[in-house]
A and B are shown apart, each in its own frame.
Chain A
Amino acid sequence: MTDLWGGLYAAARLLITLDPDLIEIALRSLRVTLSALAIACVIALPLAALLAVRRFRLRRATIAILNALMGLPPVVVGLVVYVLLSRAGPLGVLGLLFTPTAMIIAQVIIIVPLVASIAHQSLRELWAEYHDLLISLDTTQRQRIATLLWDGRRSLLTAALAGFGRAIGEVGAIMVVGGNIDHATRVMTTAIALETGKGNFALALGLGFVLIALAIAVNLAIHWLSRTERGQQW
């Protein structure tokens, strides 16, 4: 219990003093995760809509694979991305290993299946509702996808937030491909792992509480923004 109080105290101290190291890694965490989320959404949401509207031969298999990949162990993703980006690997010339970009790539791979699966669940229901009308109106596949994405945007937000949650709390993959380099690739979760390793439980917990607060703040902000948007729309 004393560790928990110590953690709360450490979190409060870090926040009140606006600890420059904390602000640096918190901003880097946000930058990496939000970038990964944006890229993942651009890939996953249209994919989810396509899986909803189009019947093709490998559709069921694709959905099953996406569902299975939701549980992808991050450390394995990290290792695969490491092997690809390593100087000795096929993409080594890009020099991306141990950069925030490498961390973004790993996170994109981790959250695309999650965002796509959750988005597909809700878009499938929406498609069941819209199916007859959109077929009758002789819409193109592109129009169907666009309609589902736009009209389903509220539930897609939930999918995106789930992706954000998984990415911001992820440590296994970004530790391997980012390297937890101070002032370059250290983020909240890798800093927490580092402090835990040093036995500094209070500081590690403090960082953990700040991370939780950060995640809640981002969720609230996005919900608030989407509500304002709905107010204007309707």
Chain B
Amino acid sequence: MLKHLVSAAIATVLIAPLAHAEAMKMAVTTSFENSGLAEVLLPAIKEDTGIDVQLLVVGTGQALRLGEAGDVDAVLVHSKAAEEKFVADGDATHRREIMYNDFVLIGPEDDPAGIAESESAPAAFKAIAETEAPFVSRGDDSGTNKKELSLWAAIGLKPDALGDWYKPVGAGMGAALNTAAGIDAYIMSDRASWLNFGNKGDLALLYSGDPLLFNQYAYLPVNPDKGDHIRNDLAQNLEEWLTSDRAKELIDGYRIADQQLFTFNAEQTDASQAAE
């Protein structure tokens, strides 16, 4: 009996590495995956280009590390400063802006800090700090986290000097939203993750619209100098597709609860040149 088990197990191991012929790996952020846009784009990419894009859903920091190690062929993230450093370090051939979405401020429906009436994002943050209402931060060095930190900095506050009401949870967007829902806290989220989030509890979208909250996604093909295994050819094809009219139509047309989530803003003229 045991022999059968062992041989069956060995057989399964041997069949295991059934790699697809035209597969490439792309590291993306949790917020992108949670938006549900990937489920629309990936089948279309496969249909149009034959490329099977395998997504590694991680935080921005880990996504860039995966690219740096040469473990993925491309990276799609949203943290401009880190991306520019990534290109400057020679880890990516270039940075290409694709689309943006926006961040929104979520909080308990009764809004103890009164941020719904704020004039700007920094004003809203200031109101939260003044009432010392609980605030959940991703605290994971992700793009979302970095954006949030920049907003605290804009009103002259340092997160590590804030009181107990500031709670960095060190988790992905979904997990952080779960925490905020559990303790009725304020939190900054990307709009897509919020709309797709299934456990809203007493939370509501309280503030959005400040251009400071716009969230630019950029595509970074990993430098093929890192080794022969880097599928730069596929990464280029994918870039061409991501900046095509077809992508524009799908990205701008993607809706959750009748709300448009992403705005396509790639420079298409460069795209056609780059593709040649």
Set of chain A residues within 8 Å of B68, measured between Cβ atoms: 88
Set of chain A residues within 8 Å of B174, measured between Cβ atoms: 196-199
Kindly identify, within residues 172 to 220 of chain A, every residue whose CB is under 8 Å from any CB belonging to chain B. 179-184, 194, 196-202
User: Is B16 in contact with A199, judged by CB distance below 8 angstroms?
Assistant: no
| Least CB separation from B19: chain A residue | A99
| Least CB separation from B10: chain A residue | A38
Alpha-carbon distance between A96 and B19 when the two chains are bound, in angstroms: 11
Set of chain A residues within 8 Å of B2, measured between Cβ atoms: 153
Q: Does B198 contact A (CB under 8 A)?
A: yes
| Interface size range on A against B | 35 or more
Q: Does A34 contact B (CB under 8 A)?
A: yes
| Least CB separation from A222: chain B residue | B5
Alpha-carbon distance between A50 and B174 when the two chains are bound, in angstroms: 48
A34-B12, A35-B9 are contacts. A199–B178 as well, Cβ < 8 Å? yes
User: Is A198 in contact with B34, judged by CB distance below 8 angstroms?
Assistant: yes
User: Is B13 in contact with A101, judged by CB distance below 8 angstroms?
Assistant: yes
User: Is B5 in contact with A199, judged by CB distance below 8 angstroms?
Assistant: no
Alpha-carbon distance between A121 and B25 when the two chains are bound, in angstroms: 44
Set of chain A residues within 8 Å of B271, measured between Cβ atoms: none
Q: Does A131 contact B (CB under 8 A)?
A: no
Pick the residue among B16, B25, B34 that contacts A98 (CB under 8 A). Answer: B25
Alpha-carbon distance between A200 and B33 when the two chains are bound, in angstroms: 14
User: Is B199 in contact with A199, judged by CB distance below 8 angstroms?
Assistant: yes
Set of chain A residues within 8 Å of B56, measured between Cβ atoms: 98, 179-181
Q: Does B251 contact A (CB under 8 A)?
A: no
User: Is A198 in contact with B12, judged by CB distance below 8 angstroms?
Assistant: no
How many Å from the CB of A32 to the closest CB on chain B? 8
User: Is B229 in contact with A35, judged by CB distance below 8 angstroms?
Assistant: no
Alpha-carbon distance between A182 and B8 when the two chains are bound, in angstroms: 25
Alpha-carbon distance between A101 and B13 when the two chains are bound, in angstroms: 7
Alpha-carbon distance between A37 and B10 when the two chains are bound, in angstroms: 10
Binary contact readout A127-154 vs B (1 if CB under 8 angstroms, 0 otherwise): 0000000000000000000000000010
Q: Does B173 contact A (CB under 8 A)?
A: yes
User: Is B71 in contact with A87, judged by CB distance below 8 angstroms?
Assistant: yes
Set of chain A residues within 8 Å of B199, measured between Cβ atoms: 199-201
User: Is A226 in contact with B1, judged by CB distance below 8 angstroms?
Assistant: yes
User: Is A35 in contact with B71, judged by CB distance below 8 angstroms?
Assistant: no
Pick the residue among B17, B69, B175, B177 that contacts A87 (CB under 8 A). Answer: B69
User: Is B69 in contact with A180, judged by CB distance below 8 angstroms?
Assistant: no
User: Is A37 in contact with B177, judged by CB distance below 8 angstroms?
Assistant: no
Alpha-carbon distance between A87 and B228 when the two chains are bound, in angstroms: 11
Kindly identify, within residues 197 to 251 of chain B, every residue whose CB is under 8 Å from any CB belonging to chain A. 197-200, 226-227, 229
Alpha-carbon distance between A41 and B6 when the two chains are bound, in angstroms: 9
User: Is B69 in contact with A38, judged by CB distance below 8 angstroms?
Assistant: no
Q: Does A163 contact B (CB under 8 A)?
A: no
Alpha-carbon distance between A87 and B71 when the two chains are bound, in angstroms: 6
User: Is A104 in contact with B172, judged by CB distance below 8 angstroms?
Assistant: no
| Least CB separation from A30: chain B residue | B12
Set of chain B residues within 8 Å of A100, measured between Cβ atoms: 16-17
How many Å from the CB of B35 to the closest CB on chain A? 10
| Least CB separation from A99: chain B residue | B17
Q: Does B266 contact A (CB under 8 A)?
A: no
A181-B55, A184-B54 are contacts. A98–B71 as well, Cβ < 8 Å? yes
Set of chain A residues within 8 Å of B260, measured between Cβ atoms: none
A34-B12, A35-B9, A87-B71 are contacts. A197–B175 as well, Cβ < 8 Å? yes
Q: Does B70 contact A (CB under 8 A)?
A: yes
Q: Does B145 contact A (CB under 8 A)?
A: no
User: Is A89 in contact with B69, judged by CB distance below 8 angstroms?
Assistant: yes
Alpha-carbon distance between A182 and B23 when the two chains are bound, in angstroms: 12
Set of chain A residues within 8 Å of B172, measured between Cβ atoms: 197
Alpha-carbon distance between A101 and B10 when the two chains are bound, in angstroms: 12
| Least CB separation from B14: chain A residue | A35
User: Is B16 in contact with A99, judged by CB distance below 8 angstroms?
Assistant: yes
Alpha-carbon distance between A196 and B226 when the two chains are bound, in angstroms: 35
User: Is B178 in contact with A196, judged by CB distance below 8 angstroms?
Assistant: yes
Q: Does A229 contact B (CB under 8 A)?
A: yes
Q: Does B30 contact A (CB under 8 A)?
A: yes
Set of chain B residues within 8 Å of A87, measured between Cβ atoms: 69-71, 226-227, 229
Closest 3 pairs between A and B when the two form their complex, measured CB to CB: A197-B174, A38-B9, A87-B70
A-B contact pairs, 24 of them (CB 8 A): A34-B9, A35-B10, A38-B6, A39-B13, A41-B6, A42-B6, A86-B70, A87-B69, A92-B227, A97-B71, A98-B25, A100-B17, A104-B16, A180-B56, A181-B25, A181-B54, A182-B54, A184-B23, A184-B54, A197-B172, A197-B174, A199-B178, A199-B196, A228-B1
Q: Could you list 5 further interchain pairs (A-B, Cβ under 8 angstroms) beyond the known A184-B54, A199-B181?
A: A34-B9, A35-B10, A87-B227, A98-B54, A182-B54
